[in-house]
Amino acid sequence: MRITHIDAIEVLDSRGNPTVEAALQLEDGSEGRAMTPSGASTGMHEAAELRDGDSHRYGGKGVQKAVAGIRDEIAGALANKDPGEQRALDRLLCELDGTPNKGRLGANAILAVSIAYARAVAASRKLPLYRHLGGDNAVTLPVPCLNVINGGRHADNTVDFQEFKIVPHHAASFAESIRMGEEVFHALKKLLQKHGLSTGVGDEGGFAPNLHSNEQAIELIIAAIEAAGYRPGEQVALALDPAASEMWHHGRYRFFKSNQSEIDSQAMTALWSDWLQRYPIVLLEDPLSEHDWDGWSEATRQLGNRVELVGDDIFCTNPELLQRGIREGVANSILIKPNQIGTVTETLDCVEQAKAAGYGCYVSHRSGETEDTFIADLVVAIGCGHIKTGSGCRGERTAKFNRLLRIEHELGSRARFAGRAAFVR
């Protein structure tokens, strides 16, 4: 099926910054469209976004160069051609860019075209995207991990750790799980109001109050779970993303927003060990820095049989980095963010590599999101069983939840809810 038209425009993400939207049409009239997100807390090995750097437009964050690359170079290379399978299209895009990190054309441009092509082919095949990517066995709905208290780079408050999440795993369906999560989210809002704390939200829709300690965030969430009528741990558990790379300072971890103290890797691992003993935490993402490979290995040795340890910054959805992690015993799960690697095929290859090594996969949004719902279809396609895409509010976050609700309804009796078993230990 030949590609007959490719176009792109500059649109806005959830932070009001520009991003890329690509549109693609096949000769039978089938169309695909995609927008790429952008992260704030980013790993140093992520594929490179292409930004204009013109201080007179959007503070230098414009993406007109990336848009022009799609309209001119990418469209010129693909027009009236039949790339065939997704892998061939993505290989062509990578070869056209010609850099190791997709920095010439921009991963933001390449990913938008890659996803748009996947959607167009799915439409041509008259299949939903999750089934086009995952086949007939793509029937597992994920546990939503809702980011209900924000800190770190995602909020201007006194909380060092970036994400405190609720995990409503004890449910019969995704729809029931979302209901449970939203009930806890609203109970938490009432609890914050009762204590005179701010209910303004951060980039991902979680509350961003000033707290007297990082532990107070845990205590408030547990109280909210109970206030909503659920049992902490048994029905609704906790997950954390400290984003420890953001705390890394000359080989130590600096608590730069709360008490200004510094601790080493051993003490950081001891902190997590203590929290795992006292609180119902089922997942720890980036508990140590992307620079601290030795610390990660030791933390995995000590904690890996107690909790899902997810590598985000340290792996960047990159097969080479993941292979090093497998070899050195780092983590037992990987965060999957398509814009970290830049194409649909490379994302799926990384998932397969992780699964073959016995690692879990955890699909994620970015803090600068769009209303594009690709990751909702992706998580069902790969059947990894859990997703993080923000809190219980903000349209760019709930768009993913709503897409998953539609997928579950469409699957009907074939739908399976992953539940507690989705979390690796």
| 337 labelled ligand-binding | yes
| 153 labelled ligand-binding | no
CA distance 420 to 158: 32
| 340 labelled ligand-binding | no
CA distance 344 to 301: 32
CA distance 44 to 218: 29
| 162 labelled ligand-binding | yes
Nearest to 221 by CA among 146, 303, 308, 310: 146
| 257 labelled ligand-binding | no
Whether 355 is catalytic? no
CA distance 248 to 235: 34
Whether 308 is catalytic? no
Nearest to 97 by CA among 85, 86, 111, 84: 111
Q: Is 106 left (phi over 0), alpha (psi -120 to 50) or beta?
A: left
Q: Where are the alpha helices (DSSP H) in 195-264?
A: 214-227
| 285 labelled ligand-binding | yes
Q: Where are the alpha helices (DSSP H) in 126-264?
A: 129-134, 174-194, 214-227
Of 46, 182, 204, 246, catalytic: 204
Of 49, 337, 369, 408, catalytic: 337
Nearest to 61 by CA among 121, 106, 91: 106
Whether the CB-CB separation of 117 and 89 falls below 8 Å is answered with yes
Q: Which residues pair with 31 in a beta bridge?
A: 25
Distances (CA, A) of 265 to 137, 270, 316, 329: 42, 9, 21, 16
Could you give phi then psi for residue 290, rounded to 5 degrees?
-65, -20
CA distance 191 to 179: 18
By annotation, the residues acting in catalysis are 204, 337
Binding residues: 162, 241, 285, 312, 337, 366-367, 388
Binding residues for (2R)-2-phosphoglycerate: 162, 337, 366-367, 388
